[in-house]
Amino acid sequence: MPASYTPLPKKSGRVYKKKMALLLPAHNEELIIQTTILSAIAAGQAKEDIYVVDDASTDKTRRKSVELLGKDQVLTVKKSGKARAVYQAIVMFEIEKRYSWLHVADADSVFGKDYFRIYRRALVGKKYSAAVGFVQSLRGNWISKYRVFSYTYGQQVLRRLQSWMGMVSVFPGPVTSFRTDIISKLDFSAESLTEDFDITLQFHRKKLGKIKYIPGAINYTQDPLTFTDFCKQTSRWHRGFFQGVRKYRVGTHRQAIDIYIAYQMLETLIYLLQMFVVLPLIIANTHPHRWVAIPSVLLADYLVVSFLAVFTAIAAKRYSILSVFPLFYIMRMVELTIFIKAFIEVIVLHKFKEQMVGWQTEGRRYSLDSNALKDAAK
């Protein structure tokens, strides 16, 4: 064990654990890792309780982490992939013995004001087994503006619904923590394109306990800079989603997670049927005003999306997203196309049964200016 560790205090034979450790798995994150560490400290996480696991980086990730944390809090491992790297760090740093909670966050995170103070306060009282905060995009280009739209609606509305149902459909990588006494029940060696979703489904299938949603704990993350990278990231997410659906036979159990995901897929199917089956049939069988149906349907859809865009702009206090509102339609269609493609690849053609070890973050990281950091500190 590293020399900087000190024995845990004991009283009447009982070992007292510290509240929470923060673990940052990283691969080639030299542009952002120090910003992430400093933002965590500013947000209320003690420096001595922050750890980095460097998964065979070929840049200065380890050096920059050691500069801030010291060698005893930075572990470098052979190329393992995120989930396996996390587990190796849990063992090395004796997280289960020394802490009550483990928070795992992506290395491109910028924690909002008082993030960890808000987080820890929310975990007092009821005995939860896992908790999730609120993921938000950093200010950026039109892709970031679209992500603000989807993230805000998804968490302000859908995640609250999930919380009411007593479940969360996916534990987001940047904002998730686990009570350490359940870590041994999770399999971090599972091969998946989206390890977060795999761990989520394990948690639900094993019925490991209650989940706390903490909307006040906001973590800002970086988004793809190009449309091509956006498509690559979205493809990985959807392929990983269907990997999990197939592996854990989602929809064949009577758990809340099955009901919610089945609802999601049914909603998507209904939308597809409306736009590409029902609407063409109406047009084909209506005379002489058959083409009136097209603008009517599109107008209704436009009004719904407009309402959601205004709602998310107000909720996120990001009114600039309305400037790219027309692009939302294109992006929704792109995501829907990728969703269908991933379904065919994974469910129908049985592709992506095995996952190559990797991170798929190359080219997506960038250093932040002072305006981005001020935004997160508000």
pLDDT confidence tier of residue 6, bands split at 50, 70 and 90: very low
Summarize pLDDT for 35-75 with one digit per residue, the tens. 999 999 999 999 999 999 999 899 999 999 999 999 999 99
How far apart CA 201 and CA 85 sit, in angstroms, is: 20
Q: Kindly report, residue by residue over 132-168, the tens digit of the pLDDT.
A: 999 999 988 999 999 999 999 889 888 998 988 889 9
pLDDT in tens, 187-220: 988 778 888 999 999 999 999 999 999 999 999 9
pLDDT given for residue 2 in this prediction: 44
Burial track 186-196 (b if 16+ CB lie within 10 A, e otherwise): bebebbbbbbb
Tokens representing residue 28 in the block: 């080639």
Instruction: Work out the angle between the directed axes of helices 82-92 and 195-205 (0-180°, nearest 10).
Output: 70
We find that the CATH architecture of domain 12-223 is Alpha-Beta Complex (3.90)
Please say whether the beta carbons of 240 and 194 come within 8 A.
yes
Distance CA 340, CA 346 (A): 10
Q: Please, which residues have CB within 8 angstroms of residue 302's CB and are 6 or more apart in sequence?
A: none
Residue 173 and residue 175: Cα distance in Å, rounded?
Answer: 6
- Which pTM was predicted? 0.86
The tokens for 206 are 């094993």
Domain boundaries, the chain: 12-223
